[in-house]
Amino acid sequence: MKILALLHTQADGSLPKAAYETLTAATSLGQPFVVGVIGAGAAAAADAVAGCGAAEFLAVGDEAVSQPRYATDAAAAAALIQAAGPEIVLAPGTARFARCLPGVAHRVGAQVDTHIVALCGEGGAVHAQRWFYRQRILGSFSRAARPWMLLLDGGAQPAWQGASGAAHAKAVAVAFAAEDQRTAVTGIQAPAADAQTIRPDAALLFVAGAGWTKKQKDGQSHIGDAGALIQTFLRKTQASLGSSKSLVDIQSEGQETLSFMSHMNQVGQTGSTPRHPKGLATCCHGEEPHAVGWRFINERRAVNLDPNCGWAQGKADVVYVADAFEVMAKVNALLEAGGQ
Amino acid sequence: MTQGFQIVVCGSLVPDPLQTLEPVTTPQGPGLKNETMLPSVLDPWSAHALFEAAHLAKQVAGSKVWLVSLGPKAKLQQLMMTVAQKVPFELVALDGSASGFTDAHGVAAALADAIAAIPGLDKSRLLVFGGCASASRDAGVTMQLVGERLGIRDQFAGVDEIKVREDGAFTVLERIEGGQYLASTCAGAPAVLAWATGNLPEPPNNPQIGMANMRGVMPALMKAKPAPAGVGGIVYGKTEIPAQKRQTRIVKDASADEIAREIVEWVKG
């Protein structure tokens, strides 16, 4: 069984963490494998993983793939697959590859599956696991067709660690067509560093629910206070901020809400399913669509006024029945006193 | 733009997110318990795509929106009772399984064939919209496979915004890692845009739009072609809901000070 670990570089020429996780998956199958790298500085990036045990390194580092664009990425990935002739293609499920590799599967006559969270090989067979119905049902499956492309979810494998060296990556020629470059990447739009609230590598996910915008004991809503409490907590803990759907929907309906919150923060059924060691939910109801967003949060705690809320039904480890405004003010004060 | 866009939205039904789902084994492969009885909604990300399509069509004169939907005909009819009241579109229905366990390759083939067969389709004006993933299969591959089958080389995934210029070129914002956007410009149609949530709220029901849409919906359902999309080449092993019940400790009578101390220790620990 010939395996291709297909990777891409980032804007600075380095490999993303998810690429190293893919290498772990490739080595775990115990079969010979080839590494293919796409993007700016592809050959140098191959050197960074020279000690991974790959039989061969291939690279496409043309100027055309210096930007993450569907058509050129697809052409490059197809060329690498054709050059390597693999039966199994493993790739990180990054935004860049999730965009282009399904199309590549069509071009090279492969089958493709995504969001793979576990992988095992037995003889010539490979079995994969992924979630269906947005993290609700876990399924294990296989395919007889080859090539079979599998995009691995980030965080599901440990990152490969090993020696760098001289990989002597072989450059694979790609004939990019003019129509492959009708799209031009113009840049990355990111919030200012101090305004960035989505931190995939944070130890803690802090999720705010719509309760923060509701009327409080005095009959008034205190959205300004809520925003200040949440932002202070995020600044002091460097936690990543998540939101319930109901909270971000308030914003798109034109009502006053937390200005730093967007659909990008949303976790759950129509949002993301981030992986963090810990999660703290505040003012959330914890119904099933929201709970699925917590599937990969290991330790879960919640602050909620309703002891009968969904979080009290076996989804969280601890539910504090209390006013989140009061609790978070005290938490921030303790963090301040502790020098955080 | 002199002629406007032809915007084809791919979207089907999924179980209402509030329903409890239980996997079962059927002769056709894995399925859901009482699947035919489960209330359905338009797949959320596809719904965003549909609303964005209607918004764009309103902005660019001469544009038109189609909704291509693969699902059991009877359930599609139920779904259209609500969806058809939201925005104007012409339905192209395909009668087949909307299960999350079907193979995306077969679904994409059926959708691409249905799009290619739309009378008067002009590829130079074509924008294919859909959700970046469904709430059922959640694979995020169908739109790209549809695009490739239609020969479309400009594709975008996780889209939250499109802005069209006078000459038909457009800018797109796509979600990428770390809460960031990748900004791109594209020379114009044809293109595939797989949407995330976009920026528009769900439109209110409009009975007039509903009546206008339903004139086309019923004939479209009547002539819906069978689309035998099944599990394809996937060989399923086990499908299960892992037991994740936690022993929740409910802290009811502690003061805010005590709770705060416990939370801070936990966060730091």
Report the DSSP pairing between strands A3-8 and A111-122: unpaired
Q: What is the CATH number of domain A3-181?
A: 3.40.50.620
Smallest Cα–Cα separation from B91: which of B195, B14, B9? Answer: B9
* For testing contact with chain B, the best of A133, A326, A340 (most B CBs within 10 A): A133
Q: How far is A140 from chain B (nearest CA, A)?
A: 5
pTM score: 0.93
**Contacts of A204 by beta carbon, 8 Å cutoff, 6+ apart:** A237, A239, A240, A276, A277, A278, A279, A280, B267
Query: Which chain B residue has the Cα nearest residue A115?
Result: B139
C-beta neighbour count of B122 within 10 angstroms: 12
Note whether A139 contacts B251, CB cutoff 8 Å: no
pLDDT at B40: 96
Let me know the angle formed at the C-alpha of B80 by B77 and B82, rounded to the nearest 5 degrees.
130
C-beta neighbour count of B196 within 10 angstroms: 25
pLDDT at A123: 76
Could you tell me the two tokens for B124? 């130079």
B157 touches chain A (CB under 8 A): yes
Contacts of B154 in chain A (CB under 8 A): 70-71, 182-183
Domain A3-181 and domain A193-337 have a common topology: yes
Cα A52 to its chain centre, rounded Å, is 23
Residue A145 DSSP code: S
Q: How far is B169 from chain A (nearest CA, A)?
A: 10
* For testing contact with chain B, the best of A148, A206, A270 (most B CBs within 10 A): A270
| CA dist., res. A241 & res. A195, Å (int) | 11
Query: Which chain B residue has the Cα nearest residue A295?
Result: B244
Contacts of A311 in chain B (CB under 8 A): 248
Q: How deeply is A228 buried, as exposed, middle or buried, from its count of CB atoms within 10 A (0-12, 13-18, 19+)?
A: middle
Q: How deeply is A201 buried, as exposed, middle or buried, from its count of CB atoms within 10 A (0-12, 13-18, 19+)?
A: exposed
Note whether B252 contacts A311, CB cutoff 8 Å: no
Q: Which residues of chain A have pLDDT under 50?
A: none
ipTM: 0.95
pLDDT at A87: 97
| CA dist., res. B189 & res. B122, Å (int) | 10
| CB of A58 closer than 8 Å to CB of A84 | yes
Domain ranges across chain A:
3-181, 193-337
User: How many residues are recorded in chain A?
Assistant: 340
| CA dist., res. B88 & res. B100, Å (int) | 27
| CA dist., res. B36 & res. B15, Å (int) | 10
Smallest Cα–Cα separation from B56: which of B117, B125, B124? Answer: B125
Smallest Cα–Cα separation from B191: which of B174, B213, B166? Answer: B174
Note whether A184 contacts B184, CB cutoff 8 Å: yes
pLDDT at A306: 86
* Cβ within 8 Å of B, A 29-58: none
A102 touches chain B (CB under 8 A): yes
Which of these CATH numbers, 3.40.50.1220, 3.40.50.300, 3.40.228.10, 1.20.1260.10, describes A193-337?
A: 3.40.50.1220
Query: Which chain A residue has the Cα nearest residue B136?
Result: A133
Domains and CATH numbers, chain B: 6-226 (3.40.50.620)
| pLDDT in 10s for each residue of chain B, 269 residues | 668 999 999 999 999 988 889 999 999 899 999 999 999 999 999 999 999 999 999 999 999 999 999 999 999 999 999 999 999 999 999 999 999 999 999 999 999 999 999 999 999 999 999 999 999 999 999 999 999 999 999 999 999 999 999 999 999 999 999 899 999 999 999 999 999 999 898 999 999 999 999 999 999 999 999 998 899 999 999 999 887 678 899 999 999 999 999 999 999 98
pLDDT at A289: 60
B250 touches chain A (CB under 8 A): yes
pLDDT at A122: 83
* Cβ within 8 Å of B, A 174-233: 179-180, 182-191, 196-200, 204
Contacts of A253 in chain B (CB under 8 A): 201
The CA-based diameter of chain B, rounded to the nearest angstrom, is 69
**Across the interface, which of B157, B242, B261 has its CB nearest the CB of A138?**
B242
B259 touches chain A (CB under 8 A): yes
A314 touches chain B (CB under 8 A): yes
* For testing contact with chain A, the best of B148, B259, B268 (most A CBs within 10 A): B259
* For testing contact with chain A, the best of B132, B248, B262, B268 (most A CBs within 10 A): B248
